[in-house]
Amino acid sequence: MRRTVGGYVSLTKPRVIELLLITTVPTMILAQGGFPSPGLMVATLIGGAAAAGGANAFNCFLDRDIDEVMNRTKRRPLVTGDITPRAALVFSWALSLASIAWLALLVNVASAALAAVAVLLYVVGYTMILKRRTPQNIVWGGAAGCMPVLIGWSAVTGGVSWAAVLLFGVIFFWTPPHYWPLSMKFRRDYAAAKVPMLPVVAADTKVARQMIAYTVAMIACSLLLAPVAEMTWVYTVLALALGAWFMASCIGLYRRAVDPARGKLAAMKVFHASITYLTLLSVAIAVDVFLPL
């Protein structure tokens, strides 16, 4: 029973969901201009987590052949046999549909519709169409990971504003420099599975240059958020400092790619830095709302 329950939980990729929810709460606080009602926050977080979990479960079902080849994923429950493919598919449908119904009934129709779009983007757009066909898979497929901010904003306001679009942009442009370092570390796995992640088919220098370009766009969106959402100078300074810090890590990766004598590529250092960046930026957004400046 414990292995089975743990297998179903694993299908939802809890660590990925945790990262998505980090951005939802600050978005809701910014949209409200303070703390939304606890009931609304809990309902939105549960619905958003369930939608992401359902999409991730579909991903595990559709990519089970890839997971079997890759060392990083060969212990997933569909590979080990803890969960059958049929059971995983039923679970994926049930969790996804339940999340949409939950949001429609307890939050609003706009949030439910955005959750449905997020599931479709990740399952159909990324997993079924892009992942195995293009090196830019994570760029466009990563749009699904941006949807929680739109869901959170619409949960409070009933719609989407330019501030929400800029938050979407921050995460959209953050995704490639977040995920490509991980792909660098596991490039042999992706190559064996015939998944054309950019670090598999391109030189490290090209990957690092594109990471820097996306980081520039990410920083621009984070700074534009200040005047659009009427945030204080405190957020602006923090956003600029955090962006500069993360940019420095990407530039360091590029320099080591150009000149291996500088040391190991240390791609995972950039991966962990990206998580720290998004977490601290989210905290800055939430805290700024309450500053009397």
48 to each of 56, 211, 221, 236, how far by Cα in Å? 12, 28, 23, 28
Q: What is the pLDDT of residues 178-235, one digit of tens each?
A: 999 999 999 999 999 999 999 999 999 999 999 999 999 999 999 999 999 999 999 9
Task: Provide the residue-wise pLDDT of the chain in tens; the chain has 293 residues.
Answer: 778 888 999 999 998 888 778 899 999 999 999 999 999 999 999 999 999 999 999 999 999 999 999 988 899 999 999 999 999 999 999 999 999 999 999 999 999 999 999 999 999 999 999 999 999 899 887 888 899 999 999 999 999 999 999 999 999 999 999 999 999 999 999 999 999 999 999 999 999 999 999 999 999 999 999 999 999 999 999 999 999 999 999 999 999 999 887 767 789 999 999 999 999 999 999 999 999 76
Given a contact cutoff of 8 angstroms between Cβ atoms, the answer to whether 34 and 289 are in contact is yes
Tell me how crowded residue 184 is: count the other CB atoms within 10 A of its CB: 24
Given a contact cutoff of 8 angstroms between Cβ atoms, the answer to whether 28 and 156 are in contact is yes
Residue 144: what are its φ and ψ, rounded to 5°?
-65, -35
Give the Cα separation of 231 and 2 in Å (integer): 47
Please name which of 4, 2, 193, 1 lies closest in space to residue 84, comparing C-alpha atoms. Answer: 4
Helix, strand, or coil (residue 154): helix
Given a contact cutoff of 8 angstroms between Cβ atoms, the answer to whether 187 and 135 are in contact is no
Spell out the alpha helix ranges (H) of 63-146.
64-69, 77-80, 85-106, 109-120, 137-141
Tell me how crowded residue 100 is: count the other CB atoms within 10 A of its CB: 23
Q: What is the pLDDT of residues 277-293, one digit of tens each?
A: 999 999 999 999 999 76
Scan for tokens 């600029």, then name that residue: 240
- Domains in the chain (CATH in brackets) are 1-157 (1.10.357.140), 161-293 (1.20.120)
Give the Cα separation of 172 and 243 in Å (integer): 15
Please name which of 157, 183, 166 lies closest in space to residue 225, comparing C-alpha atoms. Answer: 166
Give the Cα separation of 104 and 179 in Å (integer): 32
From the number of C-beta atoms within 10 Å of its C-beta (0-12, 13-18, 19+), residue 293 rates as: exposed
Give the Cα separation of 96 and 224 in Å (integer): 34
